[in-house]
Amino acid sequence: MRVAVLGAGAIGAYVGAALCRAGVEVHLIARGPQLQALRERGVQVLSDRGDFAAPAPFSVMAAWADASRATGIRKGEQLT
């Protein structure tokens, strides 16, 4: 399964990291300072349910076009 998370802020990054931890191919889409931080440090989750990090193997992209090329998912496409 391939998942693209459009808007990898606090919630999107957490969901992406959890999916990555479960073995799903994850592509996070972010911009600005969040994009830079994800590229440099990955995702660090500090939670009452257990701390974990997801430095890789997810990819971080700045634009939907990049994610579409990487995943084959097209904007507006319904996934089943």
pLDDT in tens, 26-80: 888 887 888 888 888 889 889 898 898 886 545 666 665 666 666 666 666 555 4
Nearest-5° Cα angle at 74, 68 to 75: 100
pLDDT number for residue 80: 47
SS3 71: helix
43 lies in some domain: yes
38 lies in some domain: yes
C-beta separation of 45 from 14 below 8 A = yes
Which range marks the domain in which residue 19 is found?
2-71
Q: Peptide bond before 57: cis, by omega within 30 degrees of 0?
A: yes
DSSP letter for each residue of 12-51: HHHHHHHHHHTT-EEEEE--HHHHHHHHHH-EEE--TT--
pTM of this prediction? 0.68
Q: Considering its fold, how many domains does the chain have in total? A: 1
